[in-house]
Amino acid sequence: MKYDVVIVGAGSAGCVLAARLSENPKRSVLLLEAGPDYPEFQHLPDELKNGFNLDAGTPHSPFNWAYQASGASGQTNPLQIARGKVVGGSSAVNGQVFLRGLPEDYDSWAALGNDQWSYINVLPFFRKLESDLDIRDDFHGSDGPIPIRRDKPTDWHPFQSAFYDACVAAGYPEDPDMNHPDSTGVGPVPVNNAGGIRMSTALTYLDPVRYRLNLTIKPNVLATRIVFDGTRASGVDVESGGQKFTVEGEEIVLAAGGIASPQLLMLSGIGSGSHLRNLGIPLVCELPGVGQNLRDHPLVYIELGVKDGVHLDITGPRMQSGLRYTAGGSQLRNDMQIFPSNFGGPTSGDPLGGDWKSREPGLRLTCILQAAFSAGELSLASAEPHDKPHLSYRYLEDPRDLQRLREAMRICQRLLAHPALEPLIEGWLAPTEENLASDEALDTWLIQNVNTTYHTSGTCKMGPGSDPMAVVDQYGRVKGLQGLRIADLSIAPDVVRANTNATAIMIAERVANWI
Catalytic site residues? 455
Q: Is the C-alpha dihedral spanning 262, 266, 269, 270 positive or negative?
A: positive
Alpha carbon distance, N-terminus to C-terminus of the chain: 20
Buried b (16+ CB within 10 A) or exposed e, 250-287: bbbbbbbbbbbbbbbbbbbbbbbeebbeeeebeebbeb
Query: How far apart are alpha carbons 371 and 69 in whole angstroms?
Result: 20
Within 8 A by CB and 6+ apart from 411, the residues are: 170, 325, 338
Dihedral of the alpha carbons of 501, 502, 507, 508, in degrees to the nearest 10:
80
Residue 320 · residue 351 · CB < 8 Å: no
DSSP string of 453-499, one letter each residue: -S--B-TT-B--TT-TT--B-TTSBBTT-BSEEE-SGGG-SS--SS-
- ∠ CA 444-448-451, nearest 5°, is 130
What percent of the chain is helix, strand and coil (3-state, nearest 5)? 25, 25, 50
Contact in structure between 372 and 349 (CB atoms under 8 Å): no
β-strands 336-343, 362-369: how paired?
A: antiparallel
Q: Give me the DSSP letters along 13-71.
A: HHHHHHHHHTTSTTS-EEEE-SS----SGGGS-HHHHBTT--GGGSTT-TTB--EEEB-
Amino acid at the residue 259: I
Burial tier of 209 (Cβ tally within 10 Å: 0-12, 13-18, 19+)? middle
Is residue 485 a contact partner of residue 226, using CB atoms and an 8 Å limit? Answer: no
Distance CA 252, CA 33 (A): 14
Integer Cα distance of 105 and 332 in angstroms: 10
- Where are the strands (E) in 262-311, listed by range? 270-271, 285-286, 299-306
